[in-house]
Structure 1
Amino acid sequence: MGHFPCFSRRFPLRLFVWSSDDERAGESVSIENQKRILEDYARKNGFTNIRHFTDNGIRGTTFKRPGLDAMLEEIRAGNVATVIIKDQSRIGRDVVEVGLLKRTFDEYHVRFIAANDNLDTANGFDIMSIFRDVINEWYVADTSRKIKTVFKSRMEKGLRCSGSVCYGYRASKEEKGEWIIDEEAAAVVRRIFQSVLAGETIASIAKALRAEKIPIPSEHWKRTGEPVRAAKYADPYAWSATTIGYILKRPEYTGRKVLGKTVCENYKTKSTRKTTPEEQHVFEGAIPAIVDEETWRTVQKIRETVRRAPKRQNAPNRLTGLLYCADCGSKLTHRYNLVQGKWIEDAFVCSGYRQLTHDCTIHYIPTAKIEAAILAVIQRVSWYVRHNEKEFTERVREASDQNQEKTVKECKQKISKAQKRHKELEGLVKKLYEGNATGKIPDKHFTRLLNEYDEEQTELETSIAEWQRQIENWNADRLKTDQFIQLVKRYTDFSELTTPMLNEFIEKVVVHEGEGRGNDRRQRIDIYLNFIGAFEVPEYIVTPAEVEEQRRQHEEQAAKEARSKELAKARYEKRKAEKREFTARKKAGLLTPEELEAEENRLAHNREWQKEWREKRKASEPEKPPKQKSIKELMAVEKTGADLTPEETERLAAYRRKKADQQRARREGKKSDQPKRKVS
């Protein structure tokens, strides 16, 4: 910067002071000391007309400060001759921003003095000021790095770095950094989770909480004397969907301590980002749980699916997100329409049906039928679990072993092979470095081979982690049978499919395309239960619910058939009475011309139809063979001397032989009946 003359006699003098060291209410001791030091300096050097600009408790990396902005306005207005600070760090700890401020001072001919650093622009350019600015910024960067290191070390040990407490808990006064359950707030948290399981929307939950005058988290903390985050709010009962959504996604309610969920990317801007699960520090069971793990997971699965309420309904269908297409794997979409103004269509179809990207078949299934099928499966499996728990456990584990044992064995073989290859690559990389160091391998080939080896190692590490996860999941699946048994025992009534039952029991439902039409239509449905998958109860098991359902269906079918017969009989009697009445009026000559014309047309149409029917029947019947001549006719033809066909000659000869045999038999019978004569 160039030399600046002092305009203290022509313009009012301005004095700027800034500090972030504030450990008590009001101005800090540091601010008071700086004011005293600068006033002494101004008095000794003959500066008068002093005004202080102060920013108390604001970071040195921030340049949006009220005091600084006010001073710059005065400088641009031409009301400042000299700016004096205690040292250069007080104006800021950012080399670029401090340089821009100095350029502003230069532009408006303002003298700049840092008392403790012996910097005075009136004495000419001081190159050391640049190094001081760099050192000041390095100090902030180094402090930020040290703080991050301390925070990371604490989080690795399970120690918190923040004093904020999740709604439903409060900080323990006995153990620093530990949480204990706030029963009043925890009851609200449990209610919110159970409401989601019951199929309620976030908006309806918030509306119910507002109606019951339940305080929002900030108001609750204020009433209980806890630290309040949002100090300003208009309505203490104004629950919002954002607040409830934030509560529902917190893993802490399952007793899981999660540290390092955000990280500061830039110490200057204090911009933060959400960390990945791999970067976080998770400690299971470190805090008391408010909701169980499965309830939390079920709620997360429910909230992952976007649900929209149909036009004629207030709430979305509870099956949305659970039904999948067996052919394309897409989710089924709920359709709820008024068809031709007559009946309501309440059914699910494949979301890939008639789409531009992939065209799948419709996979149409009514909502009532799929709910009935789900309820039947839950009833059947639950009854089997209650009455055959040991057999159920053995069957589930046997099925799990048969389905996954081969896969786990393959995973273990792949892990062993991948680990062996990973170790080989480490040796190759070591030899590669040695070859490059001795000059045997050029830098070009070294870089290419090193990148290839590094990429292969990364892929192997990812694959090993995935295979290991599959093995761990298999081991965990073997323990889920007990969880399903506990779930069954929690319910006492399975007569109706409730929304909580649906969400807790059903993992997914795979719907196949139907075959046939009308009453002959058949459709396969695969229902996967939580913890145990698509479990099938032995066919010989018949539950009381199924017996009752069969009885009910038989009764309904019998009642339906009886009703159909009654209706048919009533229609027949009605038609018969109408026909008798019409016939009587016709005989009495009381028909109108229109009725006579309609009757003639009907009779003509019937005669025409009967004629066509006889002709069609005659045409469809096979031709009859010609009628054979009787024996009498054959004898008459023979007497005339006409020739007979071989068949006719044979028939006539056979007839005569038959007659001759009959006469012979009669003669012999008469002869045997006569008494024998005695010879004298």
Structure 2
Amino acid sequence: MKKQAEKGKITALYERLSHDDERAGESVSIENQKRILEDYARKNGFTNIRHFTDDGVRGTTFKRPGLDAMLDEIRAGNVATVIIKDQSRIGRDVVEVGLLKRTFDEYHVRFIAANDNLDTANGFDIMSIFRDVINEWYVADTSRKIKTVFKSRMEKGLRCSRSVCYGYLASKEDKHEWIIDEEAAAIVRRIFHSVLAGESIASISRAFRAEQIPIPSEHWKRIGAPVRAAKYADPYAWSVTTISSILKRPEYMGRKILGKTVCENYKTKSTRKTAPEEQYVFDGAIPAIVDEETWHTVQRLRETVRRAPKRKAAPNRLTGLLYCADCGAKLTHRYNLVQGKWIEDAFICSNYRKLTRDCSMHHIPTQKIEAAILAAIQRVSWYVQNNEAEFIERVREASDLRQEETVKECKQRLSKAQRRHKELDGLVKKLYEGNATGKIPDKHFTRLLTEYDEEQAGLEAAIGEWQEQLDTWNADRLNTDKFIELAKRYTDFTELTTPMLNEFIEKIIVHEGKGSGNDRRQRIDIYLNFIGAFEVPAHIVTPMEAEEQRRQQEEQAEKEAHSQGLAKSAGATEALKAADPMKWVGLMNACKAQAEEIIRYELIYV
């Protein structure tokens, strides 16, 4: 048996264990590898041994502390021999292992794999190449099997990860099932309701810091749950990123989504986010913390960028809801503040006087649009509460998709298209068989295959469109019930609150105004969540409208009485002037002196 060629150099014993290898048990443990290598070195006369170890590192990764330290010693000329248990310990990548072996040759290092009977001192071993290939194949095959297991679990709605998002805890009975963590869930609900109330994410984070509410990692630490981010300086430092990530989680409305990411490369373990059609979605599989309507409303609100104007703490709450009827652009809030008073508070088309796309102004004061919104919500809410059956009927009649004949025709078209799509699958199969047996020439095969593919593509598009129409029809029936439930939550209100605005209003289309002054008229189309544009029958007068009409009549009567009083006073003054001019002059002088005294007093007081 050959001994070390150079006295004093290191005999490097290298051990590696990955998390996947741990499933094999004691046979590949670090302790077992060390024992095997030490026994081999002692029996074969190798001395001056030193262990280089990588524990919990994959064989496809070649940036390892133990391996790097050994390579540094090799390049320094301090290593004579490298001994490993088997070739898989050095790595499971044919290219990278080949580069390592080249490094060993370059620095005249003897390489031994004890269990594989590989010793470079005995010359080239062709089997070592095959072993490297098999070792890499093992990783690829293991990755494929793991993916298959994960896919099978996700198809059944079973989680492959034990991580739990803030607001939930893993059940003690089943770690893959979630239960609500009431303390954290209250914070989650507060975040959603704060956004619904018009608060910015930055203001929410500031409030949480001021109240010293623990961040998720600190909360988990305090209750003894697994902590993801172990290192953090401030336990109350809520960041905008943390709150934004909470607002984006669909789990909070009870939706379980599996397969959000997929491993692209088993060597690098690089992952990518999956498309929605690749994911596994299970509605109602998790206890909901916020209702579905609140979640979707918050997502819609966050799509619009809202910037607070100068000298104001928050942006206008109507931002993102108003659209131009002519060009479709969003309306921009315009404001001017002079000496603490708003001289203009209105919305205009964002394309007004633009170089690239000009549009008319579409000017509408904020106060007037909010009054119109409040009146519309009051009117439709009262109508829903007092004429629910009639409301449901009118809503369902408002769309062609809700007509039974249209739905029936849509279902017939969908069924026919699905049958034809299935027939084409059979024809394509027969086409391939005919071409393979020589019955159909390549020329006809290519032409027919192209025609079938084009017809199938068209059918798939039509099937998707018709199915979407049917789903929309079914959803509309459900949405009517949701709007009724929303309207019943607001039974008596006299002012427009921000949560009410965000819950009721989907969008508002603003048309260009006509006329000027008191004669100016401007049309606005208000689209309500769940039901779209809906108008209460014109003959219906709600109690709020009746009260407003009574108030306006009283104001008009007061104005007329005041005008009549002024007219009588003016007539009496003219009569006095004509009857006794000297007395009339004295009366005027007395009134003037009294007015000057009042002005002088106000100036002194100020």
Please indicate, yes or no, whether the TM-score normalized by the shorter chain is above 0.5.
Answer: yes
Q: Deviations over 1:455-483 (max 9, x none)?
A: 44234223312211211111221232222
Matched, 1:485 2:465: no
Looking at structure 2, the residues matched to 288 and 343 of structure 1 have their Cα atoms a distance apart, in angstroms, of 47
Match of 1:53 in 2: 52
Query: Amino acid of the residue matched to residue 17 of structure 2?
Result: S
Q: What are the residue-to-residue correspondences of 1:450-529 with 2, within 5 Å? A: 450-529=449-528
- Deviations 1:236-277 (CA, angstroms, capped at 9, x unpaired): 111111111111111111122221111111111111112222
For the pair 1:65 / 2:64, whether they are aligned, the reply is yes
Q: Which amino acid aligns with 2:66?
A: G
2:16 alignment partner AA: W
Q: Amino acid of the residue matched to residue 30 of structure 1?
A: S
In the alignment, is residue 85 of structure 1 matched against residue 84 of structure 2? Answer: yes
Residue deviations 1:621-663 (CA, integer Å, cap 9, x gap): xxxxxxxxxxxxxxxxxxxxxxxxxxxxxxxxxxxxxxxxxxx
2: distance between equivalents of 1:327 and 1:387?
A: 36
* Pairs within 5 Å for 1:11-410: 11-20=9-18, 30-338=29-337, 344-400=343-399, 408=407
Equivalent in the alignment of 2:577 = none
Q: Is the 1:19–1:30 Cα contact (8 Å) retained in structure 2?
A: yes
| In 1: Cα distance, 2:563 partner to 2:41 partner | 111
**Offset of residue 566 of structure 1:** 12
Q: Which amino acid aligns with 2:472?
A: N
Structure 1 565/109 Cα, relative in aligned 2: closer, same or farther at 3 Å? farther
Alignment partner of 1:457: what SS? helix
Of structures 1 and 2, the larger Rg is shown by: 1
Offset at residue 547 of structure 1 (A): 2.6
CA gap 1:190/1:409 in 2 versus in 1, 3 angstroms: same
Q: CA RMSD, aligned part only?
A: 3.1
Aligned twin of 2:7: 9
Counterparts in 2 of 1:93 and 1:369: CA distance versus 1, 3 Å: same
* Matched position secondary structure for 1:546: helix
Is contact 1:400–1:478 with CA below 8 Å preserved after alignment?
no
Shift of 1:36: 1.3
Q: Which amino acid aligns with 2:11?
A: L
Kindly indicate whether the alpha-carbon contact (under 8 Å) linking 1:404 and 1:474 is maintained by their aligned counterparts in 2.
Answer: no
Kindly provide the amino acid, as one letter, of the partner of residue 462 in structure 1: A
The answer on whether the counterparts of 1:333 and 1:348 sit within 8 Å (CA) in structure 2 is yes
What CA distance in whole angstroms lies between the structure 2 residues aligned with 1:403 and 1:561? Answer: 52
Cα separation, partners in 2 of 1:558 and 1:73, compared to 1, 3 Å = farther
Kept in 2, the 8 Å contact 1:55–1:65? The answer is yes
Confirm or deny that 1:544 pairs with 2:519.
no
Residue 593 of structure 1 is matched in structure 2 by none
Q: Given the superposition, is the C-alpha separation of residues 46 and 5 from structure 1 closer, same or farther in structure 2, using an over 3 Å criterion?
A: closer
- In structure 1, C-alpha distance between the alignment counterparts of 2:283 and 2:412, rounded to whole Å: 31
Q: Deviations over 1:118-147 (max 9, x none)?
A: 111222221111111110011111111111
Alpha-carbon distance in structure 2 between the residues aligned to 1:183 and 1:384:
38
Distance verdict in 2 for CA 1:257–1:313, change over 3 Å: same
Q: Offset at 1:312? A: 2.8
Give the equivalent residue in structure 1 for 2:579.
Answer: none
Who is 1:663 aligned against?
none
Assess, with a 3 A threshold, how the Cα gap between structure 1 residues 367 and 114 changes in structure 2: closer, same or farther: same
User: Which residue in the other structure is 1:432 paired with?
Assistant: 431
Query: 1:278 is paired with a residue of what secondary structure?
Result: helix
Letter of the 1:151 partner, please give it: F
Q: CA deviation at 1:399?
A: 2.7
Contact 1:349 1:365 in 2 (8 A): yes
State the SS of the aligned residue for 2:278. coil
CA deviation vs aligned residue, 1:346-377 (integer Å, no higher than 9, x gap): 22222333345543322222221111111110
What is the Cα deviation at residue 522 of structure 1?
1.2
Separation of aligned partners in 2, 1:405 and 1:528:
24
Alignment of 1:578-593 (within 5 A): none
CA distance in 2 between partners of 1:62 and 1:163 (Å): 25
> How many pairs align?
568
Deviation readout 1:371-423 (Å, 9 max, x if unpaired): 11111100111112222223222322333468655654553354245335424
Contact persistence 1:5–1:122 (CA under 8 A):
no
Q: 8 Å contact 1:8–1:48 — kept in the other structure?
A: no
Using a 3 Å threshold, how does the CA distance of structure 1 residues 417 and 512 change in structure 2: closer, same or farther?
Answer: farther
User: 2:17–2:28: 8 Å Cα contact kept in structure 1?
Assistant: no
Letter in 2 for 1:460: L
Is 161-170 or 557-566 further displaced after alignment? 557-566
Note if contact 1:28-1:56 (Cα within 8 Å) is conserved in structure 2: no
Do 2:401 and 2:469's aligned partners in 1 also have CA atoms closer than 8 Å? no
Q: Determine the C-alpha separation between the residues in 2 that align with 1:199 and 1:128.
A: 70
8 Å CA contact 1:7–1:82 kept in 2: the answer is no
Matched position secondary structure for 1:385:
helix
Question: What's the secondary structure of 1:321's corresponding residue?
Answer: coil
Structure 1: which 5+ residue stretches go unaligned?
574-680
For 2:10, the aligned partner's letter is P
Instruction: Give the secondary-structure state (helix, strand or coil) at the position aligned to 2:533.
Output: coil
Residue 12 of structure 1: how far off its partner (Å) = 2.9
Residue pair 2:22, 2:29 contacting (<8 A) in 1 also: no
Deviations 1:132-188 (A, max 9, x none): 111001111111111111111111111111111121111111234211111111111
Distance 1:203 1:558, change over 3 A: farther
Q: One-letter code of the match for 1:167? A: Y
- 1:561 and 1:149, CA in 2 relative to 1: closer, same or farther beyond 3 A? farther
CA contact (8 A) 1:13 1:80 kept: yes
Q: Give CA-to-partner distance per residue, 1:95-116, whole Å, 9 cap, x none.
A: 1111111122222222211111
Q: 1:271–1:456: structure 2 CA closer, same or farther, 3 Å change rule?
A: farther
Matched to 1:466, the amino acid is E
Deviation at 1:54, TM superposition (A): 0.5
Deviation at 1:93, TM superposition (A): 0.7
Q: CA deviation at 1:328?
A: 2.5
Whether the 8 Å contact between 1:347 and 1:367 is mirrored in structure 2 is yes
Q: Distance in 2 between matches of 1:6 and 1:460?
A: 74
Identical amino acids, percent of aligned pairs: 83
Looking at structure 2, the residues matched to 340 and 495 of structure 1 have their Cα atoms a distance apart, in angstroms, of: 30
1:42–1:48: 8 Å Cα contact kept in structure 2? yes
- Give the Cα separation in 1 of the matches to 2:343 and 2:486: 35
Distance 1:351 1:315, change over 3 A: same
Paired residue secondary structure (2:265):
coil
Indicate the larger mover: 461-470 or 154-163. 461-470
Give the whole-Å Cα distance in 2 for the aligned partners of 1:566 and 1:99.
109
Give, as a single letter, the amino acid of the residue that structure 2 aligns with 1:11: K
Which whole-Å CA distance do the structure 2 matches of 1:501 and 1:165 have between them?
Answer: 32
Distance 2:401 2:95 in 1: 67
Q: TM-score, normalised by structure 2?
A: 0.86
The one-letter code matched in structure 2 to 1:170 is L
Counterpart amino acid of residue 352 in structure 2: Y
Asked if 2 retains the 8 angstrom alpha-carbon contact of 1:8 and 1:82, the reply is: no
Amino acid at match of 1:469: E
Contact 2:400 2:406 in 1 (8 A): no
Distance in structure 2 (CA, Å) of the matches to 1:167 and 1:447:
56
AA matched with 1:19:
L
